[in-house]
Amino acid sequence: MYALAGTSLTDKSIWMAGVLASGSGAMLAGTAAAELHGFANWNGIVDVRRRTSVQTHGKRIQLPSGQSRPLLIRRFRKAALREAVSVDGIPATGPVQTLYDLAEIWGGQARLKWAFIEADRLGLLDESGTDRMIGPNFGFKGAGELRKRARIKIPRLELTDTALEALTLDLLAGTDLPLPEVNKPEGSYRLDFVFVEQRLIIEVDGGSHQGLAKRLDDHERENQLVRGGWSVLRFAWWDMTERPLEVLPLIREALLARGWVPPEGPGN
C-alpha cells in the first residue's frame, strides 16, 4: 500500500504517485495515460509500465479520504512500442503504446476506434506512429482494429473541433456520399457540416448543447437557417455511436431530396 498525503489531490497527483511508487523507469500507461493525453477516459486503475518489472497485482494507492486506487505494474511486451513522453511533468507511454494498451484492455470494442480517431484528431499520431501500427503484427487483443484504423486517412479531420465531429466525418467518409465542408461560417453562425450544393446542414450535439438556454439558441439558429432555404439534420453522440446505420439513410434521403445524384457504380 502506498499512502498519499494532502487534502487537494487530483487525478494527476494520484497518477504521479503511482509512477513514483513503481520505481526507476516507470511510466503511466493504460486508460490513465489515455486520459492524460486527452483521447479516452480513465477507468480508475493506476496502470504503470516498466521495462524490467513482472506483472504486479494487489497493490493500492491509499488516499487521505480513506479510499484507495488499484496500482497495476506491468512490463513492456514489445521493445518497438517503448516510447516515453512527459505530459504535465508525468512520465507516460506515448500515444502509440497507449493505444495498444487500450487494445489489450478493450479488445476490438467501438471505444477503441473512438480513442484512435480522437488521438488522430488531436494530432498525436504522426506518420511514423501509424506506420508502426500497420507494420508488425504485435498479436495483442484488439491489434487488428488498430491496424485497420491506421490504414484509414479521414479527410478534413484536422478541421473538426470535437470528438463527435470526428466520428461523424469518419462515418461519412466510409460511404459514397459527398464529403461536406466542415465548420463552415454562414453569416453569424459556424456550421458543423455543410453540403453546399444541396443546401443541407448536419449539426451534431455533444455535451455543450445541454441546458435550456443552449437548446433555445439552437432552435433559433435552426429556424433562421430554414428561413434562408437550408435543410437541417441534427444528431447526438448516441446517434453516431449507437445507431450509425440508421443515421446514414437519413442523410442519404435528405441529399437525394435536394438534388444529389449518386455516383455510378455497383449498388447504385
d(CA 240, CA 260): 22
- What residue has cell string 496502470? 47
Residue 77: the pLDDT is: 62
pTM as predicted: 0.81
* Inter-residue contact 152 to 129 (CB < 8 Å): no
d(CA 72, CA 160): 35
d(CA 203, CA 140): 37
Q: Compute, in degrees rounded to 10, the torsion defined by CA atoms 81, 85, 88, 92.
A: 30
Residue 264: the pLDDT is: 79
Residue type, 103: A
Q: Break the chain into its structural domains and give their ranges.
A: 2-150, 161-257
Whether residue 52 has pLDDT greater than 60:
yes
d(CA 2, CA 70): 10
Closest CA to 195 of 246, 257, 152, 247: 257
**Model confidence band, residue 200 (pLDDT cutoffs 50, 70, 90):** very high
* Inter-residue contact 177 to 251 (CB < 8 Å): yes
Mean pLDDT of 258-262: 95
Mean pLDDT of 157-165: 93
The tens digit of pLDDT for each residue in 103-133 reads 888 987 889 999 999 999 999 988 777 777 7
d(CA 10, CA 69): 13
Of 3.10.350.10, 3.90.960.10, 1.10.150.120, 3.40.960.10, the CATH number of 161-257 is 3.40.960.10
